[in-house]
Amino acid sequence: MMPAADAYVPGHGNRRFGVRAYDLDLDYRIATNHLSARAVLEIEAAEPLDQVALDLYGLTVTKVKVGGRPARFTHRDRKLRIALASPVKAGSRLSVEIDYAGKPRPMPSVFGPVGWEELTDGVLVAAQPCGAPSWFPCNDRPDDKASYRFAITVADGYRVVANGVLAGRERRSGRTTWRYVQAQPMAPYLAVLHIGRYVSTAAGEVEVLHPRTVPVGVGTAFERQADMLEVFTGLFGPYPFDGYAVVITADDLEIPLEAQTLSTFGANHAVAGWNNERLVAHELAHQWFGNSLTAATWADIWLHEGFACYSEWLWSEASGGRSADELAREHHRKLAALPQDLLLGDPGRDDMFDDRVYKRGALTLHALRALLGDRFFDMLRDWTAANRWGVVTTPAFVDFAQRYTKGDVAGLIARWVYAKPLPPLTFAG
């Protein structure tokens, strides 16, 4: 059996090749939840290959071509295995075209159902960490980033939102095709699709797509998004993509979720108040930490969630609320009262979304801020610039941060990230 590409999501991904580009052409019938699709993948072999194994769940493959010629394939156990007419060498490029169809549904996982989800009147995709195969064939690894092109055809009257920039739309016979281009590399789990009856409201440089019945301006949790973007650009460096949008569904959602260039919220998250406002800040911060800079493996998820959680505290501080120090003290007290059995640098599949990962990750950064002093934000801006659209690890972060202090960064990370007992907190002041 082939070793798992990532131990946290066994059965997903393949390290024998990488995908450089996805071109997805989807025709979706909302009333019957039926999808007819074609995916063209540009693949590069990392080692000699005689087959390509992709992830795809719950949909029926009808035809496959490699290099424009029909290819033999099998599709079972959530794996689409495509035989190559002749073996190829490492470094070879292949164009793989896949026709498929069916009624998409969420993908079962140890995290619950993830991926494609029907709403009361529309669709959303929430794929983190392993739901991308619920709607397109992919190499489902967080470190396998590619460019994307989307063409999504739906009935008139519905708005389609996908990653990247809206590149055009064409209307024909009561149906509209929406085209999006995501030029910057993106992990499959960050690919997103929204179909709904949305209107668009501008909030500075942020576009908000929402039902007419859900207010998004003054007096809501989304009121200060433009200010958040300005604050985070100052702290973390230039916004890494061509635009940012927020989609608010008509349905209530348990939690919001980031995707590259956009975030998803439920109508319940529009209600004013700190708990929702911090979530708006959290998802925006993921554009830098998680989307532009993506952890090589899920074991390093603190590099996403710790940074996004700390961004909530930074926004509070910048916007006249409680300081990061005050919030750090509060959450350190709370964590100290909880079991000390979580290893931040490898929390395990069952605990990767445990709130302790978020809060302890944020506290780690606060402790590092105390160590680096005034150079902390210089380091963050340089870190995001040096790794823009790339893949990161904790050891690489340690080596990078060490350049900004004579203090012991490795020792600090060892205590906070690679040991279970909660260390005492040094405050940034």
Looking up residue 166, the CATH number of its domain turns out to be 2.60.40.1730
- Give the range of the structural domain holding residue 371, as residue numbers without chain letter: 294-417
313-366: per-residue pLDDT in tens? 999 999 999 999 999 999 999 999 999 999 999 999 999 999 999 999 999 999
Matching residue, tokens 């995001």: 384
For 176: left if phi > 0, alpha if psi spans -120 to 50, otherwise beta; the answer is: beta
Question: Annotated binding site for Zn(2+), which residues?
Answer: 282, 286, 305
In this predicted model, what pLDDT tens digit does every residue of 47-74 receive, in sequence order?
Answer: 999 999 999 999 999 999 999 999 999 9
**314 close to 231: Cβ distance less than 8 angstroms:** yes
**Choice among 189, 283, 312, 404 that is catalytic:** 283
| Residue at which a domain ends, from 155, 184, 213 | 184
The dihedral region occupied by 30, where left means phi > 0, alpha psi between -120 and 50, and beta the remainder, is alpha
Catalytic annotation present for 283: yes
Total count of domains within the chain: 2
Q: What residue numbers does the annotated binding site cover?
A: 282, 286, 305
Q: Which amino acid is at 381?
A: R
Identify any residues that bridge with 118 across adjacent strands, giving them in sequence order. 123
Smallest CA-to-CA distance from 28 within 194, 198, 262 is with: 194
Regarding whether 302 and 178 lie in a shared domain, the answer is no
Q: How many CA atoms lie within 13 A of 105 on its CB side?
A: 9
Catalytic residue among 148, 180, 239, 358, which? 358
CA 395 to CA 71: how far, in whole Å? 42
| Percent of the chain clearing pLDDT 70 (strictly above) | 99
Within-domain flag for 252: no
Q: What is the pLDDT of residues 185-231, one digit of tens each?
A: 999 999 999 999 999 999 889 999 999 999 999 999 999 999 999 99
Residue with tokens 């993830």: 114
Strand runs (DSSP E) across 339-409, as ranges? 391-392
Active-site annotation holds for 42: no
pLDDT digits (tens, 9 = 90+) for 100-124: 999 999 999 989 999 999 999 999 9
**157 and 36 in one domain?**
yes
What pTM did the predictor assign? 0.96
What span, in angstroms and rounded, lies between the C-alpha atoms of 400 and 183?
A: 27
Q: Is 427 helix (H, G, I), strand (E, B) or coil?
A: coil
Structural domain contains residue 209: no
Give the pair of three-digit tokens for residue 429. 């002041």
Q: Kindly state the average pLDDT of the residues 149-174.
A: 97
